Amino acid sequence: MKHFLSIAFLFILAGSFAQYPLILTQREQAKIIDELLEDRLRTVLPTIMRREGFDMWVIISREYNEDPIIRTMLPATWFAARRTTMLVIYDKGKDAKGTDLGLEYLAVARYDVGKMFRRAWDPDHQPDQWGQLAKIVEERNPKKIGINKAPSWGHADGLTANDYDQFLTALPKRLYTHVASAEKLGVAWLETRTEREIIIYQQICRIAHEIIAEGFSDKVIQPGITTTEDVVWWYREEIKRLKLDTWFQPSVSIQRQEPETITAKRPQPLVILPGDLLHVDFGITYLRLNTDTQQHAYILKPGETEVPEYLRNAFKRGNKLQDILTSNFKEGKTGNQILADTRKQAIDGGITPSIYTHPIGFHGHAAGTTIGMWDMQGGVPFTGDYPMHFNTAYSIELNASVYVIEWKKEVRIQLEEDGYFDEKGFRYIDGRQNDIIIIPKPDPINR
């Protein structure tokens, strides 16, 4: 009971002292989400549809079996598709004078879908929803119709077998050959970030960084009492307290100056002790965008005022590996090419690398250029062959293994920070960790 009360008291203190950047109310969030969506539909979609060669995109989804892409096109107050929701996006091309007529946004549904997709079906006059969809398609006679049927990315494979069959049954046979997988179009929609999104993303990443720092402090961690699971659940509770969401369970782990076999035999979850090197893997979801961050902290031993030099030097290896990886970002270069070049440069420089970097955005493990997986250091089929585009975001996730003589074993510096790539190059959205967090922070007066 005494232990429980101590932890509870620490959690209460942590909640009362935390200072975070502004987090919008639910109503304000909904307004921003809808504004961002309208901006994306007007600015991103025309460009990528023409780049990928589609003049029509048909997205079909049923309630509670949502296509991953349709979820990104629904207004903020819709938490799911309604009954069967069909969205049709048609590129009207140019008129005889060469004026761009833009895109047409239609909802073959009982309601408008947000501000952009206007209702294009009246069930009282045409009870057959599939028949109405076919009529809309036939009237516009598109050259290439995209559907969300994809072999490589689950994000773009949301059309169910039943809905695919229904669509083809309703469609005139002469248009069958016009239907094609919209996989690359779907990936482009998901991976491309707008100027306004990336401005807002910095605030989202800042909030995530502040929560991590709060959890990795003596407001939450009391060495000798607090366990790794205590910290994990503090993070979960803090996310909920702030009215945010997460897309995965946080994790907190320990590396310490003892053989791994001994650490593994200790009662789980581990009690955090002085001299421990902590690691957290943490992410939040806010305004439909996700973060994914991994950082390290060190628990000072009595008499210590800073992280031991050998751990600081090991950490620098991790930062160096980040630098090598991001220096290889180039438009048109595939993830597998970036992976191979980075590994060679790192190994030639005496670093033992493991790289598993992924896109980030509407999904945590998002669609786009994949740069390695922890168990695929020789390259990732299909998703690793996808070329890098500008205006895309990535979680720079990797680790560098460093043999630490003082510990007589390898220490893994496991880092992950969210970054953005555009015509100016790569940058971290809200900076990166350059120094190991110290717990507790030394008193500057007594140093």
Provide the pLDDT for residue 82: 86
Q: What is the mean pLDDT of residues 232-242?
A: 98
H helices of 68-142, in order, are 129-140
Q: How confident is the model at residue 9 (pLDDT cuts 50, 70, 90)?
A: very low
Burial tier of 64 (Cβ tally within 10 Å: 0-12, 13-18, 19+) = exposed
pLDDT in tens, 112-128: 999 999 999 999 999 99
Alpha-carbon gap, residue 240 to 30, rounded angstroms = 18
Average pLDDT, the chain: 94
Residues 31-38: what's their mean pLDDT?
Answer: 97
**Is the model's pLDDT at 75 over the cut of 70?**
yes
With bands split at pLDDT 50, 70 and 90, how would you rate the model's confidence at 358? Answer: very high
Q: Which of 63-67, 260-264, 369-373, 379-383 has the lowest mean pLDDT?
A: 260-264
State the pLDDT at residue 446.
54
Tokens 């975001």 belong to: 393
Condensed to tens digits (0 to 9), the pLDDT of residues 412-438 reads: 999 999 999 999 999 999 999 999 999
Q: How confident is the model at residue 11 (pLDDT cuts 50, 70, 90)?
A: very low
Tell me: pLDDT of 6 over 60: no
Per-residue pLDDT, 98 = 82
Centroid of chain to Cα 16: 29
Higher pLDDT, 440 or 79: 440
Average the pLDDT over 140-144 and give the result: 97
Closest of 61, 67, 68 to residue 82, by C-alpha: 61
State yes or no: pLDDT of 445 exceeds 80.
no
Neighbours of 260 (CB within 10 A): 11
Lowest mean pLDDT among 134-138, 236-240, 412-416, 440-444: 440-444
Task: Please say if the pLDDT value at position 74 is more than 70.
Answer: yes
Using DSSP bridges, classify how beta strands 103-108 and 118-119 pair: parallel, antiparallel or unpaired.
parallel
**Residue 85, pLDDT above cutoff 80:** yes
pLDDT at 8: 44
State mean pLDDT over 160-169.
97
Q: Would you say residue 276 has pLDDT above 70?
A: yes
How many other β-carbons are positioned within 10 Å of the β-carbon of residue 375? 9
Give tens-digit pLDDT for 292-347: 999 999 999 999 999 999 999 999 999 999 999 999 999 999 999 999 999 999 99
Predicted confidence band at 12 (pLDDT cuts at 50, 70, 90)? very low
Find, among 414, 429, 435, 420, the residue nearest to 206 by Cα. Answer: 429
